[in-house]
Amino acid sequence: MNEIAKAAASPTKAFFVRMITRDITLEDCIFDLIDNSIDGAWKTEGSPPMTLEPHEGLSKYDIRIEADPNKFSILDNCGGMSLDQAVEYAFSFGRKIADHADGYSIGVYGIGMKRAVFKLGNKIRIRSTYRDEHGGRHSFAVPIVVSKWIENDEPPWDFDIDDDEPLENDGVEILVEDLNSGASEAFRNPSFLENLKRMIARDYSLHMSGGLKVALNGESIRARPIELRKSDEFSPMRMSYEEQIDASKKVTVEIIGGMAALPYDDNEPPEDRSRDRERISGWYIACNGRIVLAADKTDVSGWGSDDLPSWHGQYTGFLGIVLFTSEDAESLPLTTTKRSVDRTSVVYRRALRPHMRDVSRAWIDYTNWRKQDLAEAKKKEAETRSIPIHQIQAQSSTKLPNLTVKPRQKMANVNYSVSRERMKELARELGNINMSYKDVGLRSFDYMYSDYVGED
Ligand SMILES: Nc1ncnc2c1ncn2[C@@H]1O[C@H](COP(=O)(O)OP(=O)(O)OP(=O)(O)O)[C@@H](O)[C@H]1O
Ligand SMILES: [Mg+2]
């Protein structure tokens, strides 16, 4: 057969810009930039594996983010990227097969920074100040105007690199102006910014406990440490093992789980339940220290799959965390957006079953069990105190109290509605306006019972 022509298959720049920014949230794009700063900091510091042991390895490093409806910027003092790095791969789309993600980084794919700046806006300036191996200080800037850059698809694709004034500290600054409407609207919205702060505190809590400082619009973000509750009768589980990927690559897996907050009481009216307790509950997954899945209550972490029931308010209080750590970030069960785990990963599947499932199962069983002697269970739960996760001792399964079951008496449940006003009035007459509805009901029943039937 004779070839008569070739069908064009080269990509267009517009395709890249549209596609890579499509399925990622603005928050996750900003996190990609934070990840790069942290990778830079560890590289400068000499990256050790991220462990839970208290350390101050990141205490010299500072990331400042400014976001308003007109512009976005992120500035770090994490050592910067070198001119060689910029020329050779920092701006290319995707790492070459030969470029290994090493040094316990979170960067794997070679796309995060480009995707983030394209998602944010049109006028971009990436600046870097770094030291060469002889201690010489150099600076450069990469200005990009996306609307101009996409005009011409002819290869080679590249960006100009200009000489630049040095930054105050060695590091990277990324400025984005002419923001896309989605970014501009989000940064105008105080609740977006508030939520972003909360997510940073949660997903970088392991880095912040190692001293990393992050500020948004001039306000330092306070880390939210992960803690579990412990007493003589309650104690979280903690185990670790290694998965050998091939002769030279391995992933360390550490799993910790137990009670992080007091479970709900079935009789607490829903409006009295602190939403925070449920919000923090669930499974957390960290890859090289970065929390990629937080407070998960879906089948990704096993709820509602195999033999586990779907998440239910009854399980509130449970918290489990799995830390996957590897010198080779490609071996981690990461998705490209770093907002979930790759469920097809063998390393992840083996952590999920049996280990994570067993930890969830123990808690599910306990929350069923405690209903039989709620008063005793609540007493024991209240005796626990929170401890930081690094203080948890290795123990293969969660220790939970053995509640002795009282001889079963056939019970009748009463459920009726009255106006809240009348309920409160009666509670007040009974001496406590804040008395739970259940207690008002029980007191009323006892009153009628002793009047009509007599004392037990
Ligand atoms: N703040 C920074 N400090 C130092 N180097 C940086 C910084 N930001 C980016 N770089 C350099 O630019 C490169 C490209 O970043 P990019 O986020 O696009 O890809 P990646 O981090 O390699 O992989 P991933 O797509 O998984 O994030 C990084 O590997 C790093 O060398
Ligand atoms: Mg990156």
Is there a domain that residue 404 lies in? Answer: no
Per the model's pLDDT, the better-predicted residue between 385 and 371 turns out to be 385
pLDDT of residue 162: 97
Atom of ligand 1 nearest to the CA of 91: 14
Give the ligand at the shortest distance from the Cα of 34: 1
Query: 246 and 196 share a domain?
Result: no
Total domains in the fold of the chain: 3
Is there a domain that residue 443 lies in? Answer: yes
Query: 103 and 214 share a domain?
Result: yes
Atom of ligand 1 nearest to the CA of 37: 1
pLDDT of residue 94: 87
pLDDT of residue 272: 61
Mean pLDDT taken over the chain: 92
Query: 340 and 441 share a domain?
Result: no
pLDDT band, very low/low/confident/very high, at 454 (cuts 50, 70, 90): confident
Query: 39 and 87 share a domain?
Result: yes
Query: 195 and 304 share a domain?
Result: no
pLDDT of residue 319: 98
- Domain end, chosen from 220, 243, 276, is at 220
pLDDT band, very low/low/confident/very high, at 306 (cuts 50, 70, 90): confident
Is the pLDDT at 102 greater than 90, yes or no?
no
pLDDT of residue 142: 98
pLDDT of residue 185: 98
Q: How far is the CA of 112 from the centre of ligand 1 (A)?
A: 7
Is there a domain that residue 185 lies in? Answer: yes
Q: Whose CA is nearest to atom 7 of ligand 1?
A: 36
Query: 195 and 233 share a domain?
Result: no
Atom of ligand 1 nearest to the CA of 115: 18
Q: What CATH number should be reported for the domain holding residue 164?
A: 3.30.565.10
Query: 346 and 439 share a domain?
Result: no
Between CA 126 and CA 161 the distance in angstroms is 9
Is the pLDDT at 378 greater than 90, yes or no?
yes
Name every protein residue with a CB atom under 6 angstroms from any ligand 1 atom: 32, 35-37, 40, 76, 78, 80-81, 85, 90, 95, 107-114, 172
pLDDT of residue 270: 65
Residue % of the chain over a pLDDT of 70: 95
pLDDT band, very low/low/confident/very high, at 271 (cuts 50, 70, 90): low
- Domain end, chosen from 220, 249, 269, is at 220
| Residue range of the domain that includes 171 | 13-220
Is the pLDDT at 274 greater than 70, yes or no?
no
pLDDT of residue 100: 66
pLDDT of residue 316: 95
Is there a domain that residue 335 lies in? Answer: yes
Q: How far is the CA of 40 from the centre of ligand 1 (A)?
A: 8
Give the ligand at the shortest distance from the Cα of 113: 1
Is the pLDDT at 267 greater than 80, yes or no?
no
Beta partners for 290?
287
Query: 128 and 268 share a domain?
Result: no
Is there a domain that residue 399 lies in? Answer: no
Q: What is the mean pLDDT of residues 200-215?
A: 95
Atom of ligand 1 nearest to the CA of 76: 1
Q: How far is the CA of 38 from the centre of ligand 2 (A)?
A: 9
Q: What is the mean pLDDT of residues 72-100?
A: 90
- Angle in degrees, 0-180, between the axes of helices 181-188 and 112-120, rounded to the nearest 10: 80
Six token digits for residue 328: 């080779």
Q: How far is the CA of 51 from the centre of ligand 1 (A)?
A: 22
- Domain end, chosen from 173, 203, 220, is at 220
Between CA 238 and CA 242 the distance in angstroms is 14
Is there a domain that residue 273 lies in? Answer: yes
CB distance 340 to 301 below 8 Å:
no
37-46, 61-70, 84-93, 261-270: least confident range: 261-270
Is there a domain that residue 59 lies in? Answer: yes
Q: What is the mean pLDDT of residues 114-119?
A: 98
Query: 352 and 328 share a domain?
Result: yes
pLDDT of residue 98: 66
Atom of ligand 1 nearest to the CA of 174: 1
Query: 257 and 211 share a domain?
Result: no
Tell me if residue 312 falls in helix, strand or coil.
Answer: coil
CA atoms in the 13 A half-sphere facing the CB of 213: 12
Q: What CATH number should be reported for the domain holding residue 250?
A: 3.30.230
- Angle in degrees, 0-180, between the axes of helices 190-203 and 181-188, rounded to the nearest 10: 90
Q: Whose CA is nearest to atom 8 of ligand 1?
A: 36
Q: How far is the CA of 38 from the centre of ligand 1 (A)?
A: 10
Mutate to test the pocket of ligand 1, among 113, 159, 290, 338 (most ligand atoms within 8 A of CB): 113
CB distance 350 to 241 below 8 Å:
no
pLDDT band, very low/low/confident/very high, at 224 (cuts 50, 70, 90): confident
Cα–Cα distances (Å) from 440 to 154, 341, 446, in that order, read: 78, 47, 10
Looking at residue 235, the DSSP 8-state letter turns out to be B
Query: 366 and 336 share a domain?
Result: yes
Most confident of 178-187, 264-273, 362-371: 178-187
Write b or e for each residue in 173-198: b if 16 or more Cβ atoms lie within 10 A of its Cβ, otherwise e.
bbbbeebbeebbebbeeeebbeebbe
Give pLDDT tens digits for 381-439.
999 999 999 999 999 999 999 766 666 667 888 889 999 999 999 999 988 888 889 88
Q: How far is the CA of 212 from the centre of ligand 1 (A)?
A: 18
Backbone angles phi, psi at 292, to 5 degrees: -100, -20
Is there a domain that residue 187 lies in? Answer: yes
Q: How far is the CA of 68 from the centre of ligand 2 (A)?
A: 23
Pairing of strands 213-216, 62-67: parallel
Residue % of the chain over a pLDDT of 90: 78
Residue 229: name the closest of 194, 200, 257, 271 by CA: 257
Residue carrying structure tokens 């999920």: 352
pLDDT of residue 352: 96
pLDDT of residue 225: 87
Query: 310 and 286 share a domain?
Result: yes
Between CA 124 and CA 188 the distance in angstroms is 20
Give the ligand at the shortest distance from the Cα of 130: 1
Atom of ligand 1 nearest to the CA of 114: 18
Q: Which amino acid is at 230?
A: K
Between CA 140 and CA 426 the distance in angstroms is 74
